[in-house]
Chains A and B, each alone.
Chain A
Amino acid sequence: EDKVVQSPLSLVVHEGDTVTLNCSYEVTNFRSLLWYKQEKKAPTFLFMLTSSGIEKKSGRLSSILDKKELFSILNITATQTGDSAVYLCARGGRGGADGLTFGKGTHLIIQP
């Protein structure tokens, strides 16, 4: 059975801090790992990672995958209150339409 484990489950920091969110996985036939941000409603896509050691970056957010140690991290620098959300990590689809397997998410709160 595939497992995706995120840590911490919740995190409270002050505006301007840098945070690192963790995602470890045990999956068969691994193809990709995805990060989503969920505010009040639908998860919105952040990154898809398929290769080890290649950082993906979007503004203050960045993510990297380690396929040897089976984990990924999501970094957010210079955090803002708008970064408050649940961040979800998921094992990507492997063919056909087998769906994503999600971790439980990290609830990030940025205090002013």
Chain B
Amino acid sequence: NAGVTQTPKFQVLKTGQSMTLQCAQDMNHNSMYWYRQDPGMGLRLIYYSASEGTTDKGEVPNGYNVSRLNKREFSLRLESAAPSQTSVYFCASSEPWTVNTEAFFGQGTRLTVV
């Protein structure tokens, strides 16, 4: 049972470098999400995707782009990394929200920008 898989698990970038965080889910979920988690801030929504081909901004989208490549995969791109983007990034997936829906999370990517 893979669930939600994120790669890489750890990454160190220099300021100004770019990278793409990958996420794939095997639960046939329509909806996928990217969150970041910072100490004392909880999880904050960066972008989400209701279905293949659609994406929407969340609470903290600045500095990020996303691509919903197909139903399984949702990637997060940092075009020019900044130290403020040092964080732990979580991908999640769910069915479209109903009263009995939960979100399933990947294991996270710890990103450090120096």
Interface of A toward B, CB cutoff 8 Å: 9, 31-32, 34, 41-45, 48, 50, 88, 90, 92-105
Contacts and interface: CB of A to CB of B under 8 A. Distances in A.
8 contacts: A32-B99, A42-B105, A50-B99, A93-B94, A97-B49, A97-B51, A99-B45, A102-B43
A45 B43 contact: no
Contacts of B41: 104
Contacts of A98: 48, 97
Contact of B90 (A42, A45, A94): A42
Contacts, number: 77
Contacts of A32: 99
Given A34-B102, A93-B97, A105 B42 contact: yes
Contact of B33 (A88, A94, A97, A104): A97
Interface string B57-80: 011000000000000000000000
Interface residues of B, number: 33
B96 interface: yes
Given A34-B102, A43-B105, A48-B102, A88 B97 contact: no
A100 B103 contact: yes
Nearest to B33: A99
Contacts of A104: 40-42
Given A42-B90, A48-B102, A102-B44, A96 B50 contact: yes
